[in-house]
Amino acid sequence: MKRLLCLSALGIFAILASSVSAQELDEFVYLPIIIKSPQPPDCNFYEPNDTPGQANWIQDGETQTHCIVPKTDVDWVKFSISAKSEMILEAADEGGDLELRLYDSNLDELGYSYSGTDYPARIDRLCGTGYGNNPLPVGSYYAKAEHWMRSWDGGEEIPSYSISLTAFPCPTPVILTNHAAYEVWDYLLIVGEVQNNSTVGLRWGGVVANLFNSAGQ
């Protein structure tokens, strides 16, 4: 019985082989196999986002990958602040050609920045720093990214860039105790201690301390 099955199988193979020419069989055997490598994510995943009404939400701690394609493209993102907060918004590309602008809910501009070849575009609003760089109050905000030299050189496409958001509530003011105050000419010198636990903004290598009365003003 086994021998009969073997002979039947050989007969079927012979029939199949006779129906395919040697050239066709050779082409079939040596047909190239093409394996495609994984493709990078679509840089236009967030499109359309060309207007404030089409802006994508970006969350605290999130980094998104966008692109300026075509060269006239403009990208909008939006985020919300639920308590008076420090905010850092950054956008970085390899060529250093990005312009980043921040707006409030009325689309009034709050700040702008440009990237370079070795540094990102950065807009920050830090807690307790002063200098017109106060933290953001509760509300919704928008940011726009585009090619920053487009106005005079016609611009270029930016195949990929990253935009990230960091935001967290400002700390509650600390009331100093066991301190002494001295008035020296037109300066007020307070002898006390200021601690920074990474939630108080530091700028230009200095510490800025805001003074409050007992009413918190």
Give, as one character, the DSSP assignment of residue 61: T
Q: What is the pLDDT of residue 34?
A: 45
What is residue 108's predicted lDDT score, i.e. its pLDDT?
97
**Cβ(160)–Cβ(130) under 8 Å?**
no
**The pair of three-digit structure tokens given for residue 139, joined into one six-digit string:** 């509300």
pLDDT in tens, the chain (217 residues): 434 334 344 344 344 344 445 444 455 444 455 444 344 456 778 999 999 999 999 999 999 999 999 888 999 999 999 999 999 999 999 888 899 999 999 999 999 999 988 999 999 998 876 556 789 999 999 999 999 865 455 567 899 999 999 999 988 765 555 555 544 444 444 444 555 555 444 444 445 555 655 555 5
C-alpha–C-alpha distance, residues 83 and 143, integer Å: 19
Task: State which H helix or E strand residue 125 sits in.
Answer: strand 121-125
Whole-number pLDDT of residue 156:
78
DSSP letter at 48? -
Nearest to 48 by CA among 69, 27, 31: 69
- Determine the pLDDT at residue 14: 42
